Amino acid sequence: MSEVLLLQNASVLDADRGTLVPDQAVLVEGDRIADVGPSLTADAARVVDVRGRVLMPGLIDSHVHVIAASADLGQVADWSPMYVAAHAGAILKGMLARGFTTVRDVGGGDYGLAQALDEGLLEGPRLIFGGRALSQTGGHADSRARAVTRVEAGYPYSSLGRVVDGVDEMRRAVREEIKRGAHHIKLMLSGGVASPTDRVDRTQFSEDEIRAAVGEAEAANIYVCGHAYTARAVERGLRCGVRSIEHGNLMSERSAALFVEHAAFYVPTLVTYSTLAEHGREHGLSETSHRKVFDVLEQGLHALEMAHRAGASIAYGTDLLGPMHGWQSREFRIRAEVQPAADVIRSATRVGSRLLRLDGRIGVVAPGAWADLLVVDGNPLEDIGVLAEPEQHLRLVMKGGRVYHDRL
């Protein structure tokens, strides 16, 4: 029989309105929120007195790589899948402890990890996965050394990506990821930092290849997300039907306006650049990749500010690698330099739920939603540091009606 839990004396955070609703109770039955209101009672319920603290939805990180246990992604590709899974388990457990109850993996996470989490074999957030990211030869997910052109046969279980060239190969690759249960498809639309042989300013994949991926994804009722840095790469992706753009540090005012025109989502990942600049080399990032961090580091906040002014739908993402996953919550404080706290919180709750097509089920404290709930000391609407420093302020983490961390 499922436990019935009544959380009383809570100030419930309404992420849509950016307000707190005081003196509320939240009734949880099984994995769902049954009711929310000022004076609730329930027979046989276990009662938890929140004592006026803020109760809010579990957080959503819309850009993670749960198997990225090192900043040397080529090295991870050579590891045993079992060893990678062990690392992923520790990474996922840490994310949940920081209050992230749902994450979207955009390269590497697969159905096996999602199933292990669903069955309770691993402790961590709900995993929305896309399987392997797709890259052209020499593109951002091609981790082979410069002299290596062969592609190993079979499915690269320990790699974040796979190499695809041409429209026919693209259709087959997308269909294979869909067969494995992908919730979305990730395309590398430009060069990137952690890849060994491509410059950040390159565009990748032809428009025909991009449109083929979008068509196959839409036929399966899922969508394409695209790694892109430059204005040219961002705009090509949006014109071809890509639904979310990751990073976008080097985009323009025109690029920002296109997000609204195409009803697309923007997922900045600002914390990873400052973290890679400071700690990347000690955690496996090559010297070549470390130099590329500085091609995009300074422009990230400006891109976020442009997108915010344009009215784009902005989701929360981090894109951290290896031990640097521990800095996941610092993204809140970085974004607050150019966005109001309420908007940053909305990115990690309501906007994320829409991007993941789980609107009404996550990112909200409302009847019928999954019972993903946090209790925090302090008001994050007034001080975003409440969320940026979970080790000091996070008092309770609940995912799907189960309490994982309780410091009340």
SS (H, E, C) 302-327: HHHHHHHHHCCEECCCCCCCHHHHHH
Give the whole-angstrom CA distance, residue 191 versus residue 228. 7
Give the whole-angstrom CA distance, residue 6 versus residue 361. 19
> Which residue would you say has higher pLDDT here, 326 or 298?
326
Q: Is the pLDDT of residue 200 over 60?
A: yes
221, exposed or middle or buried, with CB in 10 Å at 0-12, 13-18, 19+? exposed
Q: Kindly state the average pLDDT of the residues 12-33.
A: 97
How many angstroms from the chain centroid is the CA of residue 234? 19
Query: pLDDT confidence of 151, banded at 50, 70, 90?
Result: low
Query: pLDDT confidence of 282, banded at 50, 70, 90?
Result: confident
Share of the chain above pLDDT 70, in %: 96
Tokens of 75: 């090295």
Tokens of 139: 């593109």
341, exposed or middle or buried, with CB in 10 Å at 0-12, 13-18, 19+? buried
How many angstroms from the chain centroid is the CA of residue 203? 23
CATH architecture under which domain 59-355 falls? Alpha-Beta Barrel (3.20)
Asked if the domains at 4-58+363-406 and 59-355 fall in one CATH topology, the answer is no
Q: Kindly state the average pLDDT of the residues 189-209.
A: 89
Q: Residue holding tokens 């992908």?
A: 182
Q: Kindly state the average pLDDT of the residues 17-22.
A: 97
Distances (CA, A) of 204 to 12, 13, 188, 207, 248: 45, 42, 7, 9, 14
The pLDDT mean for the chain works out to 93
Q: Does domain 4-58+363-406 have CATH number 3.60.20.10?
A: no
Query: pLDDT confidence of 287, banded at 50, 70, 90?
Result: confident
Q: For residue 168, what is the enclosing H or E element?
A: helix 167-179
User: First CA to last CA across the chain, in angstroms?
Assistant: 25
Give the model confidence (pLDDT) of 209-226 as tens digits.
999 999 999 999 999 999
Query: pLDDT confidence of 43, banded at 50, 70, 90?
Result: confident
Give the whole-angstrom CA distance, residue 267 versus residue 247. 6
Q: For residue 301, what is the enclosing H or E element?
A: helix 300-310
Q: For residue 188, what is the enclosing H or E element?
A: strand 185-188
Phi, psi of 227 (to 5 degrees): -75, 120
pTM value? 0.95
DSSP states of 333-386: HHHTTTS-HHHHHHIIIIIHHHHTT-BTTBSS-STTSB--EEEESS-TTT-THH
Q: Is the pLDDT of residue 291 over 70?
A: yes
Three-state secondary structure string covering 117-151: HHCCCCCCCEEEECCCEEECCCCCCCCCCCCCCCC
Give the model confidence (pLDDT) of 389-405 as tens digits.
999 999 999 999 999 99
Q: Is the pLDDT of residue 129 over 70?
A: yes
Tokens of 331: 């993204």
What are the extents of the domains in the chain? 4-58+363-406, 59-355
pLDDT recorded at residue 71: 87
pLDDT recorded at residue 196: 73
**Could you give the maximum distance between any two Cα atoms of the chain, in Å?**
69
Q: Kindly state the average pLDDT of the residues 114-122.
A: 97
pLDDT recorded at residue 406: 94
Q: Is the pLDDT of residue 193 over 90?
A: no
pLDDT recorded at residue 82: 93
